[in-house]
Amino acid sequence: MNIGYEAKRVFHNQTGLGNYGRDLVRMLSEHYPENKYYLYNPKSARQRLFEPNGTHVFERLPQSRFNRTFYNLWRQRNMVGDVKKDGIELFHGLSGEIPVGLGRHRIKSIVTIHDLIFVRYPQLFSYIDCNIYFRKFRYAAHRADRIIAISEQTKRDIVEFLNVDETKVEVIYQGCHPAFKQRYDEYEKEQIRKKYSLPTSFILNVGTIEERKNVLSVVKAIKHLSDTCLVIVGKETEYAKEVRTYIRHNGLQKNVLFAKGLSIRELAIVYQLAKLFIYPSRFEGFGIPIIEALHSGVPVITTNTGCFPEAGGPHSTYVSPDDVAGIGQAIEDLLTDTQLRTEMVDKGFEYAQRFNDAPIARQLMACYGNVLRG
């Protein structure tokens, strides 16, 4: 089978959507090497985030000068000509979009929709961006033969906001990078601890430092917890200035550390150094850092609504994202109860096995087969 992918973010996005695409192609190409996987990339990447193997995973770039110049037009429309030439039987849009015209060439299609945050929280986006995203997602949802949602929460949003029959939407969870499933020795851990000046005991938050992810509530929660250190790993936005201002005004400089520039391997080791992982985001499509933490053997505190219980499972601790006192109590309870932490680690790791490569790859391939047969 020849399978095509809209792969802009596979080659250009270092986090979130890029990780999803890279992991999906890696899983399928490893478990189903009999297929050929074509990754349609609108322009060459300065930093190589993914290397096709050239045997059954291929990168496809615009060939003509016109398409190289107007690469977004190629991605949205003209790509279809190349897709047809490559004999693609099924095309998968990995991030809410598919090119126009697949149906005219009788090419079956699937689109993955990660979230509709721009509909739920339009104030976090520009008016123009919201309208562009909505048109693209609505087109893909109605023209694709099948929609993959990464959580039950996202499926509900697709049905509600994009007016799609729920029978067209299939939930297939994400996995995570193999680095988080490895175990690292004490020497490696100590090297990373020294490199990033990490304390011997800390709680961890991972994710873009933006308002929706709500790390300020954690900073406020540890204000009255003596000797508690929070390590924050993530790209900073304007919201980070608010977080840093609160830290400075409340004398928490020694209690909150920011770490940047970590490789995937280094991040995996930092997870394994943490006492617990905290993720009080107000809304996500799924919450991959939760899965990374569970695989890493770290107890999780996260939000009690939306998709988070799907990711965290029955043995994580759940809090209201705006209940600062409740967040503080949950942190204190876990830091002082070794037996509870051990139980959460064991049960959480067991729960996380449903997000391993093999079962996800099987679900994806079954979905592909059903679309082609349908």
Query: In 3-state terms, what secondary structure has residue 277?
Result: strand
Whole-number pLDDT of residue 13: 87
Which contiguous run of DSSP H or E holds residue 40?
strand 36-40
In the DSSP assignment, the letter for residue 107 is -
Structure tokens at 245: 């201002």
What is the reported pLDDT for 46? 86
The three-state secondary structure class of 47 is: coil
- Give Dmax over CA atoms of the chain in angstroms: 64
Band the pLDDT of 185: cuts 50, 70, 90: very high
User: pLDDT digits over 72-127, tens only?
Assistant: 999 999 999 999 999 999 999 999 999 999 999 999 999 999 999 999 889 888 99
- Find, among 16, 103, 24, the residue nearest to 287 by Cα: 16
Q: What is the pLDDT of residues 130-142, one digit of tens each?
A: 999 999 999 999 9
Token digits of residue 271: 């997870």
Question: How far, in Å, CA of 9 to CA of 41, rounded?
Answer: 8
> For the chain, what is the mean pLDDT?
95
pLDDT at 209: 95
pLDDT value at position 226?
A: 82
- Provide mean pLDDT across the span 65-77: 95
User: Which domains does the chain show, CATH number per domain?
Assistant: 2-175+356-373 (3.40.50.2000), 178-354 (3.40.50.2000)
Residue scoring higher pLDDT (120 or 38) = 38
> How far is 101 from 107, CA to CA, in rounded Å?
9
Structural contact between residues 215 and 246, judged by C-beta atoms closer than 8 angstroms: no
pLDDT band at 149 (very low <50, low <70, confident <90, very high): very high
Helix (H) or strand (E) holding 79, with range, is helix 79-85
Percentage of the chain surpassing pLDDT 90?
Answer: 90
For residue range 11-26, list pLDDT tens digits in order: 998 878 898 999 999 9
Signed CA dihedral, 207, 213, 219, 224: sign only: negative
pLDDT in tens, 282-323: 999 888 999 999 999 999 999 999 899 999 999 999 999 999
